Amino acid sequence: MKRFKHYDACTLDEAVSLLKEFDGKANIIAGGTDIVGLFKDNVFAESPEALINIKTIPGLDYVQEEEDMLKIGPLALLEDLAHNKLLKSNYTALAEAARRTASPHIREMGTIGGNICQFSRCWYYRLPNNRFNCIRKGGKDCFAEEGENRYHSIFGNVKDCLAVHPSDTAPALIALEAKVKTTKRVIEMADFYQTEDAKKFSILDSDEILIEIQIPRPSESTKSKFEKFAIRKSIDFPIVNCASKVEFEGDKVKKANICLNAVFVTPYVPKKAEEYLEGKALELDTVETAAQLALQDAKPLSKNEYKIEIAKSLIKKTLLACK
């Protein structure tokens, strides 16, 4: 591991001014379950000079419902979210996504903020000592295109990168129509990830900190659900995951939100499927059509066509579970 400086920030202002001081050469550390591995394996093309610890800032781990909104602090632990009674009953997809993330030990350390800001798990990107200088690191090639691409994108590339986004909680937050408050602005969770700059995953600036997640309270006639397919039942990233939220009017769908992850460079919202479901009853044939529409534009690589059927089946499962 290369040497770096470590700062315990006492306030958000202090953390922001440290990030500004290092001008893109420092990272935030929350639970450390992702960033420490990246530092240890010397994954970055240019080693960051500092880690700014935000766990030393008090009061950032809350979960509280206020009027029509659930507010979650960025340091709320995944394990706490998984067992939170309010989340389990009203924001089910998020509680389930947190419960299915990693292992109990990692959920006791890992935070919701860190989970949605985590880096790629592409094995070419992640190989120690920057062995593959891929597009994400300023290189010219995506090694997955011709190489081992069984876990990569089925919806094409972005700036030639085929790595998928690995977060379990991000699709749940997008389906639940969450917003993310930062030290600079409020962003729709659906707009949090970006495809313009291959060197970063979210739209956060290098001196910007995520300070709150806000989820509108679902109506009484709304249900949400999360499902994940992974090789192992625990400590495993998704091959595909899916979160759906359905609001009903009588027995018909008023509004459906669906978000898949691990199928594209950013979480993937199948808009055609969402629109098709409006005004329909959730029956086997309607969810089947919705799943077909959702995967209609898939362009699988040489070794990952199998993901299409998995994605369809998770869409159907989550939608039917909302009935």
Ligand X SMILES: Cc1cc2nc3c(=O)[nH]c(=O)nc-3n(C[C@H](O)[C@H](O)[C@H](O)COP(=O)(O)OP(=O)(O)OC[C@H]3O[C@@H](n4cnc5c(N)ncnc54)[C@H](O)[C@@H]3O)c2cc1C
Residue nearest to ligand X (CB): 114
Map the footprint of ligand X across residues 153-212, applying CB under 6 A: 166-168, 204, 209-210
Q: State the CB neighbour count (10 A cutoff) for residue 173.
A: 29
Q: How far apart are CA 186 and CA 214, in angstroms?
A: 9
Nearer to ligand X, 222 or 225 (CB): 225
In the complex, minimum distance from the CB of residue 125 to ligand X, in angstroms, rounded to a whole number: 13
For ligand X, the binding residue among 32, 48, 147, 156 (CB under 6 A) is: 32
For ligand X, the binding residue among 18, 28, 76, 273 (CB under 6 A) is: 28
270 binds ligand X (CB under 6 A): no
Q: How far apart are CA 85 and CA 63, in angstroms?
A: 11
34 binds ligand X (CB under 6 A): yes
**Helix, strand, coil percentages for the chain (3-state, nearest 5):** 30, 20, 45
113 binds ligand X (CB under 6 A): yes
15 binds ligand X (CB under 6 A): no
318 binds ligand X (CB under 6 A): no
Nearer to ligand X, 181 or 254 (CB): 181
73 binds ligand X (CB under 6 A): no
Strand pairing category for 222-229 and 186-188: unpaired
266 binds ligand X (CB under 6 A): no
Rg (CA), the chain: 19
At 270, the amino acid letter reads P
In the complex, minimum distance from the CB of residue 78 to ligand X, in angstroms, rounded to a whole number: 6
Nearest to 304 by CA among 167, 145, 159, 193: 145
Stretch that binds ligand X, among 26-34, 139-147, 278-286, 298-306 (CB under 6 A): 26-34
Q: State the CB neighbour count (10 A cutoff) for residue 283.
A: 12
Quick one: CA dihedral 171, 174, 175, 178, positive or negative? positive
Q: How far apart are CA 238 and CA 227, in angstroms?
A: 10
Nearer to ligand X, 133 or 229 (CB): 229
Q: How far apart are CA 29 and CA 54, in angstroms?
A: 6
**Interface with ligand X by CB under 6 A: which residues?**
27-35, 37, 54, 74, 78, 101-102, 106, 109-111, 113-115, 117-118, 166-168, 204, 209-210, 235-237
